[in-house]
A and B are shown apart, each in its own frame.
Chain A
Amino acid sequence: MAESSPDAILQVRGLTHRFGGLLAVSDVNLDIVRGTLLALIGPNGAGKSTTVNLLTGVITPTSGRILLEGQDIVGCSSSAAARAGMVRTFQNGRLFKRLTVLENVLTGADGRAKTSLFDAITRNSRFRAEEDAFRHSAMELLTELKLDGDADRQVGELPYGKQRTLEIARALILQPRVLLLDEPAAGLNSGEVEELISYVSLLRSRGLSILLIEHNMGLVMRLADRVAVLNFGEKIADGTPAEVRSNERVLEAYLGRKASHAAG
């Protein structure tokens, strides 16, 4: 098992997934160095969503390994993968709309709870101490993200931009080892995108490792330490933003199609 670079928090080796006869993801290798941001890009249908689903245990790969801090998490259920530290946000917003803002963040904390169902039913002191600690850190997060004033509002009432921010808060409270941001800028206005960029940079500067799946190339080029490019389920390039930007295959496969994609 020795592709031992101690700095890699996530190592994906030979990740392959077949839907029937279709190779959705084919022999993909990815590395995230601790405290850095890897952007995963590619045209629609390149296999980005499938990769995210594989990483988070929603689907089990046909073959390949996913090493999180050296631990293979292939075969883990998605809730176990989340508890192991692989936490995602959702492209199209999967907040619990009929819960309040604070409750949404706390559901993230619940996944981290050390106390058992029994503790929760009996509400013993261990449970109450943990719940208080969760509430405290949830409020801290909300304050940092300027959502503290909305803590008791139903999520369905929040403006879209705040909902996207809240998703990040809900993921962060799980204390992820790797945070998967699935198109966090989708639907945001330019001011909100700027806030997102500075917040993601802040998270990285605190040492969080991030996998960013994004269509917005401006965002990718500004944030990414490295960029991996998927096309038809295969990784066609992997390098610094500058290297990827000048890579022939990428220009052909991805940037060449971008104009037609945007028009469509």
Chain B
Amino acid sequence: MSAQVLQLAINALAAGCIYAVVALSVEIAYESTGVVNFAAGQLVTAGALIGLSAVAYTKFNFLPAYLLVIVGMSMIGIVFLICVYLPLRRQSVLTIVIGTVGVGIFIQNVMLLTWGPLPKSVRSPMGSGAIKFGDVSVSLHVLYVIGVTALLIIGMYLLLYRSSLGRQFRATAQDPEAATLMGIRVKQLYALNWILVCVLSGIAGLLFAPMWLVDVTSGDNIGLKAFAAIMIGGFGSVPGAILGGIIVGAIEIFGAFYVSSAFKDALVFALMFLFLLVRPQGIFGERAADRA
């Protein structure tokens, strides 16, 4: 019994890590530009599918393949910056948010044309092995997901809070006009922002793909769960996004096992609604009045 709980907990953590990475990407875009990125789910799928093709192209050399994915996702970020964000920057934030919805639909349809509608299985760089700790068997891929996520979170923390770039990033997020008047090159930072957003989503795609089958819509659900994670953790809080992701993963895995796998999504969104009713600022979120 306890071995089973432990096994579920590890799987829950792995699923939660993926939601956390996507939530982190949404959170970064929101913090630095005020834009809620509704294309997150499609970007996750893009990462997974580009990864699939890149791995095939490099004949299962995962490292160069994953570098190709990062380059590809960065290019999507730059195209998004040039074609959507910069032209709409002076409009209301809502206009840009709608823009991200459009970008999501566009990406999804390009993927449908490129990769077709059939679900595909994707291999993990860790293979399909597992290690046994007593009665608990953990797949190597799950450990890899947890490890990569931990590294990403540490890396993002160092970037945002321990580097001059992060300082400029946070300054620009708080007051772009004052940042400009302090001589900060705001456009370069916006470029970095959208590259980070796309690369993080893409990495989430690479992480999730070997666990489930991938088709052009599989990221949609992950994007939605990432929003649930942010609502639960608190909009505007990076630790909240991570914790929210892990909570969503836990509810999903434990809910599927103890309640019903048909209800696992419903449970996640029920908790989100509960938070919206009882604690709309989420676990770590600031109240709207405290910002500004």
Interface string of A56-81 (1 = CB under 8 A from B): 10100000000000000000011100
CB-nearest residue of chain B relative to A97? Answer: B174
Give the interface SS of chain B, mostly helix, strand, loop or mixed.
Answer: helix
A174 touches B183 (CB 8 A): yes
CB-CB under 8 A for A110 and B175, given A82-B183, A83-B183, A174-B183: no
Q: Interface size class for chain B?
A: 20 to 34
Complex partner residue of B183 from A79, A98, A106, A121, CB under 8 angstroms: A79
For A, the interface residue count at a CB cutoff of 8 angstroms equals 35
> Which single member of A56, A79, A106 contacts B185 (CB below 8 Å)?
A79
Complex interface residues of chain A between 152 and 185 (CB less than 8 A to chain B): 170-171, 174
Contact between B192 and A98 (Cβ–Cβ < 8 Å)?
no
Query: In the complex, which of the residues B167, B177, B178, B181 contacts A110, with contact meaning CB atoms closer than 8 Å?
Result: B167
Nearest-neighbour CB distance to chain B for A136, whole angstroms, equals 14
Number of A-B contacts (CB under 8 A): 83
Q: Is the CB of B167 within 8 A of A107?
A: yes
A127 to B177, CA, bound (A): 25
Q: With both chains docked as a complex, state the minimum distance between the C-beta of A88 and any C-beta of chain B, in angstroms.
A: 6
Chain A residues lying within 8 Å of B153, measured Cβ to Cβ, are none
Q: Is B174 a contact partner of A99 (Cβ separation < 8 A)?
A: yes
* Cross-chain contact A107 with B165 (CB below 8 angstroms): no
B170: chain A residues at CB < 8 Å are 96, 98-99, 103
Q: Tell me the smallest distance from the CB of A86 to a CB of chain B, in Å.
A: 9
A90 and B163 alpha carbons, distance in the complex (Å): 26
Nearest A residue to B291 via CB reads A98
Are A131 and B182 interface neighbours, CB within 8 A?
no
Say yes or no for A261: interface residue by CB 8 A criterion.
no
Find out whether the CB atom of B164 lies under 8 angstroms from the CB atom of A120: yes
On chain B, the residues within 8 Å of A77 by CB distance are 180
Flag if A98 contacts B174 (CB, 8 Å): yes
What 3 pairs between A and B have smallest CB-CB spacing? A111-B183, A82-B183, A94-B178
A-side interface residues toward B, CB under 8 Å?
56, 58, 77-79, 82-83, 87-88, 90, 94-99, 103-104, 106-108, 110-113, 117, 120-121, 123, 127, 131, 134, 170-171, 174
- Give 10 A-B pairs besides A78-B180, A79-B185, A110-B182 with Cβ atoms closer than 8 angstroms: A58-B181, A78-B181, A87-B181, A90-B178, A96-B170, A107-B167, A107-B179, A110-B184, A111-B184, A112-B183
